[in-house]
Structure 1
Amino acid sequence: MTTSSSTQHTALNDAASATDSPNAADADFRASARRTFAIEGAAIIALEHHLDADFDRACQLMLATQGRVIVTGMGKSGHVASKIAATLASTGTPAFFVHPGEASHGDLGMITSADVVLALSNSGETAEVTALLPLLKRMGTPLVSMTGKPGSTLARDADAHLDTSVAQEACPLNLAPTASTTAALVMGDALAVALLEARGFTAEEFALSHPGGTLGRRLLLRVQDVMHKGNDLPRVNLGSPLRDALLEITRQGMGFTCVIDADEHLVGVYTDGDLRRTLDQHGDLRALKVDDVMTRGGKTIRSSMLAAEAVRIMEENRISVLVVCDEDEHPIGAIHMHGLLASGVI
């Protein structure tokens, strides 16, 4: 019993040592990865030679549709089709994925004559996909196909065919869909980008379909959405004792106060950093007025500007707060780096 346990312990130690140290097997793993990169990279480069008038026709059909682009595919092609549909939808081309098997059992009702169908099948003969052809023809729904076989049923019956054929799969058995699915995915991206550019799709429009993410917040959130305003805006009048400015900074907790003139124009700011410099340069603070030690002017921003722009200004000037002014240079708010962090802009 003891001998058996000892043998097992030794075997485990040997296995751990083999894993911890580089050997020939590790080099083989990397060589395999490099072959995969080379094969799939070549497949992508070859796509350029497959582009023809059918790609233009496919884009024209999708741009002209009054409905949506319905993307379909089975198996691995289905997974790629689902991603293509998501990319189209997020870049200005309304689209969704329909499973071809489910389409034959009721989901075909999701497709109308106003739509365009984009069907993926590497062989071009996938039964679940080709079964939809007579029904699509009867409805008069335009069909764009994406296959690796230009002479296939799906390619022949389509209004536009996108050739995604590859010389070989990355799989050494030339069986598992690898290079072919990569080629289909890249062709889908090419469609999405071509349509995006043709529509003049903007970053703001992109953000509207991504409101929950960091990108959406950076592109949609404006200074007015996160600024402190009203009674939360620290301010003192020009000519106020420095003591009043310090009390205002403490009361609002933003590390600064605006200094305004009789017409409520911004004339300067006084910050925690200014206080440190004041202590270095002046022995007695009691006789000082805020005018004597404030920073004149100060960096400002408009309330309609993007919060991301406020981040840029702060980072470039190494400051943590900006005064928000209207067109007449009246301070109407303040935006702090902490608020930008809390809102997810940073």
Structure 2
Amino acid sequence: MNEKKLQQLGVAVIETEAEAISALTQRIDANFATACRHMLECEGRIVVVGMGKSGHIGGKIAATLASTGSPAFFVHPGEASHGDLGMITAKDVVLALSNSGETDEIRTILPIIKRLNIPLISMTGNPDSSLAQAASVNIDVSVEREACPLGLAPTSSTTAALVMGDALAISLLEARGFTPEDFARSHPAGALGRRLLLHVGDIMHTGDAVPQVSESTLLSDALLEMTGKSLGMTGVTDSDNRVIGIFTDGDLRRTLDHGIDVHQASISEAMTKECKTVVADMLAAEALQIMDSKKISALLVVDENQHLVGALNMHDMLRAGVV
């Protein structure tokens, strides 16, 4: 089989599955809305069940629901018959996936679910199946054909179920008013979590690690302070520890260009006045935006009275994973 033929086969699969997904738009109907309502009113968890490939899709749907504000977990229906049914309570909602709607392991546990008198949402490719008929509401995820040329391997059908699961999860996210901050709390180790949860105060240098000189300090001594603290800058403060300026590596280059004697001049002659500052409870991502917009690589951190309390630079952002 040549390269062109392999490419044609790949395109055919994608086109077949795209058609199956497109057909789902007609299934976003009253049943879909009812399923969403059951999930929104759930006082417990959304319990997702499914066997085989449907089980793999169910696991992903449960994970998406949980990470977008709808507490959920996956239960293997085979294990459910051997004790895991105890994980389902009278406050839960069950979402059952089966393309045929006749999966034996799911049919076995249907009487127990019905006995709990909890909503059962089915996602099947056969609205006349045992599962669909037993459900409180059925969502039709049937496909015209599988992408597998043999019509056997679950391909289009599992893709359709996955997309419908995403539709449920994101609809619930919107209905709950789920925010980026809520998402970040579920993903504290991810890049988004760091950007939305990490504050300046979490990564700034404090105490003796903050480069700081008074306005009367000689420029040469200020350079020693910068070198010793390794942040590429130093804050300049008045007698009350209020920030009145900053001196950076860039200021040093400009000073040398102007022919200023670094051994005779005071820092006040070379510093940048009215420098940009941030506060400790500002999001680190916001501080990063300030750095980007002002084209600077370091910031001084002040309190509400402009007292110097900390400092940070771009390297701190990189180490914290904000960049």
TM range (shorter): over 0.9
How far residue 220 of structure 1 moved from its aligned partner, in angstroms, is 1.0
Partner of 2:30: 53
Distance in 1, Cα, partners of 2:131 & 2:159: 20
3-state SS of 1:131 partner: helix
3-state SS of 1:228 partner: coil
1:267 and 2:244 correspond:
yes
Distance in 2, Cα, partners of 1:278 & 1:201: 51
1:71 and 2:71 correspond:
no
1:294-322 C-alpha deviation (Å, 9 max, x unpaired)? 11122221211111122222223332211
Matched to 1:106, the amino acid is G
TM-score (norm 1): 0.91
Q: Which moved more, 1:108-117 or 1:328-337?
A: 328-337
3-state SS of 1:132 partner: helix
Distance in 2, Cα, partners of 1:232 & 1:160: 62
1:122 and 2:99 correspond:
yes
Where structure 1 has 5 or more consecutive residues not aligned to the other structure, the ranges are 1-23
1:25 and 2:2 correspond:
yes
Partner of 1:322: 299
Match of 1:200 among 177, 196, 213: 177
3-state SS of 1:310 partner: helix
Matched to 1:150, the amino acid is P
Please identify runs of 4+ aligned residues in structure 1 that moved more than 6 A. none
Alignment of 1:74-89 (within 5 A): 74-89=51-66
Distance in 2, Cα, partners of 1:313 & 1:31: 49
Distance in 1, Cα, partners of 2:9 & 2:124: 27
Q: Which moved more, 1:55-64 or 1:281-290?
A: 281-290
Matched to 2:318, the amino acid is L
Kept in 1, the 8 Å contact 2:231–2:312? The answer is: no
Match of 2:17 among 11, 34, 40: 40
TM-score (norm 2): 0.97
Matched to 1:173, the amino acid is L
Partner of 2:109: 132
Kept in 1, the 8 Å contact 2:122–2:131? The answer is: yes
3-state SS of 2:22 partner: helix
Matched to 1:117, the amino acid is V
How far residue 283 of structure 1 moved from its aligned partner, in angstroms, is 5.1
Where structure 2 has 5 or more consecutive residues not aligned to the other structure, the ranges are none
Partner of 2:256: 279
Distance in 1, Cα, partners of 2:289 & 2:51: 46
Distance in 2, Cα, partners of 1:59 & 1:29: 41
Match of 1:181 among 158, 176, 185: 158
Q: What number of residue pairs does the alignment pair up?
A: 323
Distance in 2, Cα, partners of 1:180 & 1:65: 27
